[in-house]
Amino acid sequence: MYRYKFLILFFLAIIIGISVNASPGNTAETDQELKNKIGQMLLLGFRGTQAYEDSYISKVIKDINIGGVILFDYDVPSQSFPRNIISPEQTKKLISGLQAYAKTPLFVAVDAEGGRINRLKEKYGFIKIPSAKEIGNKNPEKAELIYEKLAGQLAGLGFNLNLAPVVDININPKNPVIGSLERSFSSDHETVTDCALAFINAHNRKGIISALKHFPGHGSSHHDSHLGLVDVTETYRHYELTPYKELIKKGKAEMIMTAHIINRQVDPDYPASLSPNFLQKILRDKLDFKGVIISDDMQMGAITENYGFSEAVIKAVNAGCNILAISNNGKTYDEDTVYKAFKVIIKALKSGKIPMHKINDSYTKILYLKKKSKIL
């Protein structure tokens, strides 16, 4: 009798255990954890100068726990001002409001290189910062003092990520997107490295993350990757990697942004942002980079004109991009794009097109950087 009672109890325990493990609550919790991880891999641009409770951006932050936002002063699709930035007081309030909606504190990013590429312009009440070309003609100590003022301004406003410095070497001074805009420090790789180091050190002291760009080097190109795919096969020089190599070796590279450029000697089919040959074999393995890789804007012409959106998202994640930048500030403004990217990644995970270790690795690197930088 006791034997039968024991068997009955044993089987009941198994049945109860199975029902608990398969309950909707536990499944939802697992799904939510996955969504949180994927959300952290997305950095989004949006329209709006205030963070309202029912605004699009507050909804996205709460819906999918995005990892970060990027602010602009000018709205490219409508060719109008303002986009997000009006004044120091308004910008600080906007950033504070955005962080209030975030379950996981956000990367709040901006392109503040100096010169013409600076969303925080003097006419809005921000400090004036010289272009990289001007900085390249100064000594590193002077450069660091200038960049400390910039970093202090960013920290005071609530920014924690500057998508700079540009470490592209000025090989082609007529380059429409680098050289002609004075975004490169110099044609000399040592000067570029020294100036970038001054930039990073100044930002580090103020708690601002720097993102080196545009890996593996955009300085020799003859075209603009905002408009289409740029081929540097014949113009690229091996020493364009030198600033990355030196700054990684010094422990000064926390985040690196990829370039949508193709070098057919390295990968005949895909640009660096979508290529494991560039991001895994060169950046991770050869240069030993351990930090966060962020893509350049996934809505730039180099990507949208040559690859399907779903294909590009999957390729970028598998190549090694930990964060996908979606500026929504190109030819069109599409509020569904971030949701599309989110769904593409989930679907690709379920179908096996993206392995789970890619998501886990990205999530680990992102949270580590946020903790190290005291964002978390």
Domain map (residue ranges) of the chain: 37-372
**Residue 11 pLDDT greater than 60, yes or no:** no
Q: For residue 80, what is the DSSP state?
A: B
Q: Are 99 and 105 a contacting pair, CB within 8 Å?
A: yes
d(CA 41, CA 46): 16
Q: Choose the catalytic residue: 226, 267, 269, 334.
A: 226
Q: Choose the catalytic residue: 168, 224, 296, 297.
A: 296
d(CA 326, CA 304): 12
Task: Give the relative orientation of helices 88-101 and 140-157 as an angle to the nearest 10 degrees.
Answer: 60
Q: Are 86 and 72 a contacting pair, CB within 8 Å?
A: no
* Nearest-10 Cα torsion for 124, 114, 271, 191: 180
Residue 226 among the catalytic residues: yes
Reading the block at residue 148, the tokens are 């400390």
* pLDDT tens for each residue of 224-283: 667 678 899 999 999 999 999 999 999 999 999 999 999 999 999 999 999 999 999 999
pTM: 0.92
pLDDT given for residue 224 in this prediction = 67
Residue 218 among the catalytic residues: no
**Residue 213 pLDDT greater than 50, yes or no:** yes
**Residue 318 pLDDT greater than 50, yes or no:** yes
pLDDT band per the 50, 70, 90 thresholds, residue 27:
very low
**Residue 28 pLDDT greater than 70, yes or no:** no
| Choices 3.10.20.520, 3.30.160.100, 3.40.50.150, 3.20.20.300: CATH for 37-372 | 3.20.20.300
**Residue 15 pLDDT greater than 90, yes or no:** no
Minimal CA–CA distance to 254: which of 314, 203, 193, 194?
Answer: 203
DSSP string for 293-318: EEPSPTTSHHHHTTS-HHHHHHHHHH
d(CA 229, CA 262): 7
Mean pLDDT of 272-295: 98
pLDDT given for residue 229 in this prediction = 81
Strand duo 230-231 + 255-258: pairing:
unpaired
% of the chain with per-residue pLDDT over 70: 91
